[in-house]
Amino acid sequence: LAKTTQPISMDSYEGQEVNITCSHNNIATNDYITWYQQFPSQGPRFIIQGYKTKVTNEVASLFIPADRKSSTLSLPRVSLSDTAVYYCLVGRLGGGSYIPTFGRGTSLIVHP
């Protein structure tokens, strides 16, 4: 089972860049790293997925070092609407028998 560890909470201010790091020391060779965002009373929403180095899309960047034992979700210039819980998930595509483990996630609060 690919266990992940994230900070329980973070605070930031509007316009700042926020970096949330997830540790996954026992990540397997075929595992991918996926981040989700969840607003209160809504289902989690996919943000970004990566395997190694750097991935960028229109909302975030994902940095993965060479050893892949951690990953960092970067949210540029956050706004109040980015206040949410962010989950890091590790698992493989296609086959594998891992149970998807979302954990408690990181509660990000963005202040005016």
Partner 1 sequence: DSGVTQTPKHLITATGQRVTLRCSPRSGDLSVYWYQQSLDQGLQFLIQYYNGEERAKGNILERFSAQQFPDLHSELNLSSLELGDSALYFCASSKNRGSGETQYFGPGTRLLVL
Residues in the site for partner 1, rule: CB under 8 A?
Answer: 31-32, 34, 36, 38, 41-46, 49, 87, 89-105
Between 87 and 110, CB nearer to partner 1: 87
Between 97 and 112, CB nearer to partner 1: 97
User: From the CB of 92, what's the least distance to partner 1, in Å?
Assistant: 5
Spatial strand order of the sheet with 106-111 comes to 9-13, 106-111, 84-92, 31-38, 45-50
Between 1 and 112, CB nearer to partner 1: 1
Neighbouring C-beta atoms of residue 73, cutoff 10 Å: 25
Rg (the chain; Cα; Å): 14
Taking alpha carbons only, the member of 105, 107, 21 closest to residue 71 is 21
User: From the CB of 112, what's the least distance to partner 1, in Å?
Assistant: 26
